[in-house]
A and B are shown apart, each in its own frame.
Chain A
Amino acid sequence: MSVLSRTTAGSRVLLMGNEAIARGALEAGVRFAAGYPGTPASEIIGSLAEVAKERGVYVEWSVNEKVGSEAAAAASLAGLRGLSAMKNAGLSVALDFLLHLSYSGLGNQCGGFVVAVCDDPQGHSSGDETDSRWLAKWADIPLLEPDSPQEAKDMTTWAFQVSEEFKSPCFLRSYTRLSHASGTVTLGELPQPDTKAHFDTSQIISPYLAKAKHADLEVRLDKVRELFESSSFNWYQGPEGPELLIVCSGSASRFSLEAVEQLGLEKSVGILKLGTLWPFPKKLVAQHLAKTDRVLVVEEVDPFIESHVKETAFDSGSVPQTLEIYGKGSGHLPLVGETTPDAILEALSTIFNLASPVSDPSYSEKIQEAEEMLIPRGLTWCAGCPHRASFWVMREATRRDGRDGFLAGDIGCYTLDVFPGGGGNQQTKALHAMGSGMGLASGFGKLGQFGFTQPTIAVCGDSTFYHAAIPALVNAVYSGSNMIMVLLDNNSTAMTGFQPHPGTGFNATGDPAPVVDVEKLCQSLGCKIVVSDPFDIEGSAKKLRLLMKKEDGVRILILRRVCELIRMREEKKHPYKVWVDTEKCRGEKCAFCTRMYKCPGLVWDREVGKAQILEAVCPGCGVCVDICPFGAIHREKTP
């Protein structure tokens, strides 16, 4: 039984931040949850899906974050509590709807609607480290930010109440060090909601007329602010009149508490921890600003709280003119990257003029010596991954074509092609957002009239295709763009943990689902489609070259082979036994396989000076046999 469906209230368990958000939603009686996978957010929907049947919740992996938000909001409009979850980049996709939902409100008989957004400070698994809190402000949506898994659970439950009371969506902002942190959580009760879904047709829920709705929204926000001013998720700890006031949120509050203790500053420093961030609780903050001369603001990513503290100080009559405010603006804390305990310790040491702890010079010397030995560990595709073969196919085809062709990439495991020192050979020359490879290629394919002659290949995964590539594909067809799409179909959303999508034949809760057929869909648009197995390097490269020569609109090559991790799990055997004939291997003069193909199952034996199969790693796909220019690698079918 999943710990999420444990019914004993009061029991203490270890939960990941994302699981805590899911549990908080269950404790609020959530009935409908939808989202699109994305690190670090995926486990919110994933863990709800595991208990969906047991708890009577409907859970879906939607095609994208906008549709997921719309679907979950429908439940809310029909009186049920709904949750939508996404990563930071996904919020940009959902915003068009969410902004207008903020204007329209949730109607007379709504159930609460909570949008959980997980930012990725440091960009551990993202192409950006944007701060989504500005978007809550931009869309006038109430915003909460928890500091720990316990608070993530409690705040999620409360967020549904806030949403319901004010008939507005409510944002819960998480971040990597919460979503992917685990902590001790005391569980609450799990209710058995039995509200019947019904949409009240006596109302029209829309943002029109916008000016009037905007005015309503401002009134609503003032009321939310009143509630937030006295929320117990905001608290103060420290002396009555601190020498320095730290205003903080999120895990930065936990780090601040510890830093103050570590430096022995408990008698001089007070901590005002904020959990309700928008509308900003300015009365509460002003009261505390009035009692100190110096403030340090500590938060994750942008100076969001910091700018509102400055605004509050400016607006409030009771704050001394001499108040000094430190943080990202003053340079005491870094503007980029995640907020670490070390950064807070350093900021406090600077402010209080504390000597840095003296480190043992001989230890520092040893560290320096050791650093010379440290080599990077680049990201790569798994041994036997079909993407490695697919990129080899594209390399072969564009090289032989000779017209300086290039790839416009997309988001998925195949993104790793752009990483320096990574698994691929960096043929992807432009890469941005979900579906953008296709959109960019649609544009590149229209540059012929300006003398552009380079073949452009949009590379897109199967899940990404459903998510955002379809409108771009329709655009390319409609505009008569001269381009190729290579669809890397591994039958999974592999990068984020093998979530199903409309092509897989099953849904979030493991039940059979209709397959939305990519080929038929593309055929219906009039595209030329060729399907090939990426492990047939020669054959696939030939097909791609032919498509590159035929310059007539949108051509599609589907390179289809299931993700190796899924294959291995299902088949539990290696297709081939693979070995290197050391007589034939040309050694260091060549090393084509290890230098260029870079499969982790194929290593360089330094002593012998030849390539070698690493048996513990090689899954026996046998593709390297076709890569070796001298026929030195052999394969034999396993029984």
Chain B
Amino acid sequence: MTTICEDPLNLVIAGVGGQGNILLSRLVGRALVKKGYFVSIAETFGAAQRGGAVMSTIRISKRMSLGPLIPEGKVHIILSLEPLETLRTLIKFKSPTVVALTNVQPVPPLGVLAMKDDYPDDDRLQNAIRELSESVLFLNATDMGLKLGAPIVANIIMLGALIASDLLPLTRQDIEDEIREAFASDRAQLNIKALRKGVESMGGSTVTALHS
């Protein structure tokens, strides 16, 4: 896509503290600013990072600088690094026309470890995500990352899928340029590899072709 289909276009990046949520919002944000957009991002830092649910809201406009939070019902895209967090984000924003791209690898919350809570089973969880979105993409980015020798790059793999989905006015090259600026060369190589894996995982199809 060479421009945004809605103004503002609202994207949420969700996950668990430590999954590299903030890196994604930075890469996307910096690339969009270079394309001349007004970008506003709200992020979660500090205490909430210690194993908590983290969420970045990203607002993209050609016209004006917006406040960084998104009103209910107005989220267009969710990029999520953990499936329970995808569901949490869908419930929070109640946006029936949202496109959700999600990693399916669960990160069990503390209550599950302490045997107080039950993590929903995969089918039920994925079904609920499907029900609350207009279209969905499920990817096991953690597995793909493990194959690259680093499960942490699941975040960049998911970003690759988002770029390939053609929902943002950004190309793979735009993100690669940002990665090269952000990392020393060996880390940059790994992340670019991950980005390309994510792009390939879409097999040339955009999310609009994925309607469930």
Contacts and interface: CB of A to CB of B under 8 A. Distances in A.
A182 B40 contact: yes
Given A341-B70, A600-B51, A375 B40 contact: no
A342 B74 CA distance: 11
Interface in A172-214: 177, 180-184
Contacts of A573: none
B45 A40 contact: yes
Interface stretch (A95-103, A377-385, A548-556): A377-385
A309 B128 CA distance: 47
A40 B70 CA distance: 20
Interface in A149-188: 150, 177, 180-184
A509 B32 CA distance: 31
B110 A600 contact: yes
A12 B124 contact: no
Interface in B20-74: 25-26, 29-30, 32-33, 36-48, 50-53, 64-73
A423 interface: yes
Interface residues of B, number: 62
B111 A416 contact: no
Given A378-B51, A604-B115, A370 B110 contact: no
Interface string A485-501: 00000000001100000
B125 interface: yes
A133 B36 CA distance: 35
Given A370-B87, A378-B51, A595-B114, A181 B42 contact: yes
Contacts of A381: 50-51
Nearest to B145: A616
Interface in A357-382: 357, 359-360, 363, 366-367, 369-371, 373-382
Contact of B52 (A254, A262, A367, A377): A377
A14 B68 contact: no
Contacts of A413: 50
B46 A341 contact: no
Given A183-B38, A184-B65, A380-B50, A594 B113 contact: yes
Interface string B151-164: 10000000000000
B72 A373 contact: no
A124 B67 contact: no
Contacts of A398: none
B111 A341 contact: no
Nearest to B94: A367
A378 B38 contact: no
A177 B26 CA distance: 16
Contacts of A183: 38-41, 65, 68
B169 interface: no
A39 B111 contact: no
Given A379-B52, A600-B110, A182 B96 contact: no
Nearest to B33: A14
Interface string B69-86: 111110000000000110
Given A366-B131, A370-B132, A600-B110, A595 B48 contact: no
B117 interface: yes
Interface in B108-130: 108-120, 124-125, 128
Interface string A579-615: 0000000001001001100101011100000000000
Given A251-B68, A373-B120, A181 B47 contact: no
B16 interface: yes
A345 interface: yes
Contacts of A422: 110
A160 B182 CA distance: 32
Contacts of B51: 377-382, 423, 600
B101 interface: no
A39 B68 CA distance: 18
Interface residues of A, number: 65
A299 B101 CA distance: 35
A616 B124 contact: no
A256 B85 CA distance: 29
B73 A357 contact: yes
A376 B111 contact: yes
B46 to A, nearest CB: 3
A369 to B, nearest CB: 7
A255 interface: yes
Contacts of B26: 14, 182
A360 B85 CA distance: 23
A421 interface: yes
A336 interface: no
B31 to A, nearest CB: 9
Contacts of A598: 110, 113-114
B187 interface: no
Contacts of B118: 375
B109 A14 contact: no
B88 interface: yes
21 contacts: A13-B30, A14-B29, A125-B47, A125-B48, A148-B40, A180-B42, A180-B43, A184-B37, A258-B67, A359-B73, A370-B91, A370-B132, A375-B118, A377-B110, A378-B51, A380-B50, A423-B50, A423-B110, A594-B113, A604-B112, A604-B115
